[in-house]
Amino acid sequence: MFIPRTLSESTATSTVWRAVAVAAIVAASLFLILSANITLGQENLAAGEIAERDIRAPRDATFDSASATAAERDAAAAAVQDVTQVIEPPADNQADQLAEFDALSRRVTRVLELRDRETITGDEISTRLAGDVPEVAVRHRELLAGMSIPRWEVVSGAARSALESTLAGSIREDEVIRVRSSVRDLITNDLSEEERSLAGNLAASLVEPNVIISDELTADARSQARAAVPPVEVEVLAGEMIVAEGQRLTVADIEKLVELGLTRPNVEAGTVAGNALIAILVAGLLVGYLLRFEPEIWHRNRSVLLFFLALVVSAVAIRIAADRTLWAFAVPTAASVLLIGILLRNSAGAAMAVGLAVLAGIMNRESLEPAVYVLAGGVVALLTITRAERLNAFVRVFVALAITNIAVVTAFSLLAQRDVTAILQLGGIGLVNAFLSVILAVGSFAMLGNVFGIMTVFQLLELANPSNRLLRRLLLETPGTYHHSVMVGNLAERAAETIGADPLLARVAAYYHDIGKMKNPLAFIENQAGAHNIHDDLNAETSARIISGHIRDGIDLGYEHGLPVQVIGYIPQHHGTSVMTFFHQKALREAGGREDLVNEGTYRYPGPKPQTREAAIIMLADGVEASVRSLDSKDEESIRSMVDRIVDARLEDGQLDDAELTLKNVAQIKDAFVGQLLGMYHSRIKYPDNVLPLDQAREQA
């Protein structure tokens, strides 16, 4: 692209502020994309809610289920029996409780003896029993108050026998109620019903456990049981129904949605800070790369806008498809890489591929596979596109990109041990990705080139077509200039190929470098066809102004006919600031040879000097073609001598100072010119008068 040096030069301060501003805008955009919850299919659901639609798994997933693991561990803990602890041997417990029973029996006997001696009478007996023997229930006090001592001894003996039998074994703390109930069944049937109830209650009141449950030991045992249960692994297959419409969601359903990335994530400070740093790094590095290594892109606002617009749009597409196994691999990021490579530079396209790979890896849960997929596809697309001069170049890109995509997903599938079905699905998506990338690139790069003022190869091919309206005008209105321009184009193309410049651009720019001569065709000798030369009647200064006017007229015609600004930029450069030697010498003759009376600047073209290698080649080809055409003898020695003289004169005049040509390049250009000119002016066989050349013979046949 044509960027005059005067436009690219700026102060360090303004450059820094511009870089900071661009980086800040891009970083803010990337931060919003990284943080935005715009993933398709995400649900804002909680356990217990009703699903509003069917939700299926978009990909395979295997994870440890917290809820299932907790349920199994709870079950394992519940299966653990209470851990008991013996506080007293059964024999000791039996002896203690029987001794206590005997003491109770004696207290009852003593009350009954007091009754028999009439020491206490009536209600005093019940009161004395309540105080001395509280173990006797209220309902049994009246029975006991009227019972004889011998009969009491029978009842107490039956109770003691049942108690002794019951306490012979261990009694657990949690079984006391059952044992007390069963001890009543051991009372002999020889007693009356009320006597059996009295004996049973007394025996039951003295049943005490000798084995207790240890809460601490039980808790330890249950903790060990929980720890012994491994995490429960849950497997979800792509396409599997997670929850149907109208179904109530369980905790297990929510876990699957979270694992598959189908729920809206919680905003955490760490995530926000991480996204911000990633956005700043990516934006800062890309801006720094353009500033340092791509000045031609950096100093053109529309090129910078195109680069970062492609980055942001691609990032949005990646964000939408993030964490969707198939969708993530269908995003045609290679299209953006191709567009930047074609419209700007391959190196800028490579930087774009790296930036998009980083973003793809971050947005797909820090996954390496999408990052490698995007990077490999972008680089391969750049390596295979070379020059997009024909559509078959894009077919080559499609094949290479498809193979690369399939190779990457297959490699990672083998590492992840995916099944054959998954590999085939991903391979198919790789083909779709390649197709979409190529279609988008083919369908949009010409349009984007027009929108952003970037010249494309197809534009150049269209401009090089002889049927182009402006070239047809040049041919019809100024046939001599047209022929000269075609010759210059051939020379420029050959020389550009030789030194590695852009041959198509050089040829097209040469075709249009003299279109300004259409405004005043007869002022230029190649269009006079032997007629009177108008400059014979004009002074040197007037002639010089007319001749240099074709630069201004050419620029006006270029804009009028919609030529790309890059091609128009070669019109003032093809003469640079060189001197119109013929009219300068004429002015000296008119001034009687006094150089002090002739201002050389009046006879110099307005410039600027050639800023690119292609512009320098066109300048040299223009001078060489016109000079060699004037030679009487066009043998190799004469042509080479003229080429050397023209090129060396431009060098000495400083016209090539800004074109970044090496001395080796200059020598290669000279050789290319000589070779091409010898082909143009090769000698022909002189036919006898009675022999017609083959073409003429065919015409007369």
Mean pLDDT computed over 481-505: 93
pLDDT tens profile 10-29: 566 778 899 999 999 999 99
Mean pLDDT computed over 78-87: 82
How high is the pLDDT of residue 81? 83
Q: How large a percentage of the chain has pLDDT more than 70?
A: 92
Phi, psi of 99 (to 5 degrees): -65, -40
**Distance in angstroms (rounded) separating the CA atoms of residues 80 and 224:** 10
**Distance in angstroms (rounded) separating the CA atoms of residues 229 and 269:** 34
423: Cβ–Cβ under 8 A, 6 or more apart, which residues? 409, 410, 413
519: Cβ–Cβ under 8 A, 6 or more apart, which residues? 549, 550, 553, 557
470: Cβ–Cβ under 8 A, 6 or more apart, which residues? 512, 515, 557, 561, 563
Does position 336 have pLDDT exceeding 80, yes or no?
yes
Mean pLDDT computed over 246-250: 84
Mean pLDDT computed over 478-499: 94
Does position 38 have pLDDT exceeding 60, yes or no?
no
How high is the pLDDT of residue 326? 80
Does position 697 have pLDDT exceeding 60, yes or no?
no
**Residues 662-668: contacts with CB within 8 Å, 24+ apart?**
665/499, 665/613, 668/495, 668/498, 668/499
Task: Give the confidence band of 9 by pLDDT, cuts at 50, 70, 90.
Answer: very low
Q: Ramachandran region of residue 246, left (φ > 0), alpha (ψ -120 to 50) or beta?
A: left
Lowest mean pLDDT among 298-302, 321-325, 569-573: 321-325
Does position 698 have pLDDT exceeding 60, yes or no?
no
Does position 169 have pLDDT exceeding 70, yes or no?
yes
How high is the pLDDT of residue 399? 94
Nearest to 258 by CA among 46, 31, 37: 46
Does position 385 have pLDDT exceeding 90, yes or no?
no
DSSP string, 384-404: HHS--SSTHHHHHHHHHHHHH
The Cα angle at residue 178 between residues 174 and 181, in degrees rounded to 5:
145
8 A C-beta contact, residue 343 and residue 445: yes
Task: Give the confidence band of 44 by pLDDT, cuts at 50, 70, 90.
Answer: low
Does position 517 have pLDDT exceeding 70, yes or no?
yes
Phi, psi of 577 (to 5 degrees): -115, 30
The answer, as to whether pTM is greater than 0.85, is no
Domains present along the chain, CATH in parentheses: 5-38+267-454 (1.10.1760.20), 91-201 (no CATH), 459-680 (1.10.3210)
**Lookup: tokens for 8:** 């690219």
Task: Give the confidence band of 574 by pLDDT, cuts at 50, 70, 90.
Answer: very high
Task: Give the confidence band of 49 by pLDDT, cuts at 50, 70, 90.
Answer: confident
